[in-house]
Copies of this chain bind each other. A is one copy, B any other.
């Protein structure tokens, strides 16, 4: 497996981290964060397209995504890929209760990324020293499970247009939480196939659906750019009130 490189010094300080409010280290004061920083092993960086880990690996670490976008996915035996989620800055990836067990999904960088790495041992130590971090970790797991259930429900039951609307709603909401103005055009580092694999359709069919949304003046999502036109209509479509 390819290694990613250690990010050049100076590394970011947890006490001044712009995404801490969304991340595992959210609880506590700046001093708490600074103290914990000693147990953050290293910051890594990786280029677009770099596979961060693969299903089946036994990686004894987990990462907080500091910057960039990461695609979590599974590949079926028939070669089809299901995109499980899009990880954005602050998201915790690769964690398992048992680091001895192999990972059940893969992750690839959709942009250049910076990752804050935590070794198994340091995660254990952090949780023993600070029960609020244990609590936060449980909350993160619950949140991820909840998001997965939501995706399962719409991938299983909704027609393609509604699935796409739900995907875009979730994405814009999460981008908005990260301070991005979702009324302006947004660069989206996902191609047609990434999004198609997330909502369980082919990229060809996604193109047609995307054209529908454009003609209806709801969103224009083409060539890695998302131009919201009528976010309320998008939400109505996602939540099936029309």
Chain B residue numbers with a CB within 8 Å of A153 are 74, 76, 82, 84
Nearest neighbor of A241 in chain B, beta-carbon distance: B77
A126 at the interface (CB under 8 A from B): no
18 A-B contact pairs sorted by A residue (CB < 8 Å): A74-B150, A77-B240, A78-B157, A78-B240, A80-B158, A82-B152, A82-B153, A82-B154, A98-B139, A104-B149, A134-B138, A138-B138, A138-B141, A145-B145, A145-B148, A155-B156, A156-B197, A156-B199
Which chain B positions have C-beta within 8 A of A145? 141, 144-145, 148
* Contacting pair B240 A200 (CB below 8 A): no
Residues 147-172 (chain A) with a chain B CB within 8 angstroms: 148-158, 162
Closest B residue to A240 using CB positions: B77
Sort A-B residue pairs by CB-CB distance and give the 9 closest, nearest first: A156-B200, A97-B139, A77-B240, A82-B153, A80-B157, A141-B141, A148-B148, A74-B153, A145-B145
Q: Is A105 an interface residue (CB 8 A)?
A: yes
How many angstroms between the C-alpha atoms of A227 and B14 in the bound complex? 57
Q: State the Cβ distance, A9 to closest chain B Cβ, in Å.
A: 33
- A137, CB-defined interface residue at 8 Å: yes
Please determine whether A150 and B240 come into contact, CB atoms closer than 8 angstroms.
Answer: no
Q: A139-B97, A145-B145, A239-B77 are in contact. Are A152 and B154 (CB under 8 A)?
A: no
Q: Are A152 and B150 in contact (CB under 8 A)?
A: no
A154 CA / B76 CA spacing, docked (Å): 8
Question: Does A96 count as interface, using CB distance less than 8 angstroms?
Answer: yes
Chain B nearest Cβ from A87, distance in angstroms: 13
A142: chain B residues at CB < 8 Å are: 95-98, 141
Which secondary structure characterizes the binding site on chain A? Answer: helix
Is there a chain B Cβ closer than 8 Å to A222's Cβ?
no
- The smallest C-beta distance from A207 to any residue of chain B, in angstroms, reads 18
User: Once bound together, how far apart are the Cα atoms of A104 and B153, in whole Å?
Assistant: 11
Q: Is A81 an interface residue (CB 8 A)?
A: yes
Contacts of A239 in B (CB 8 A): 77
How distant is the Cα of A156 from the Cα of B80 in the complex, in angstroms?
Answer: 9
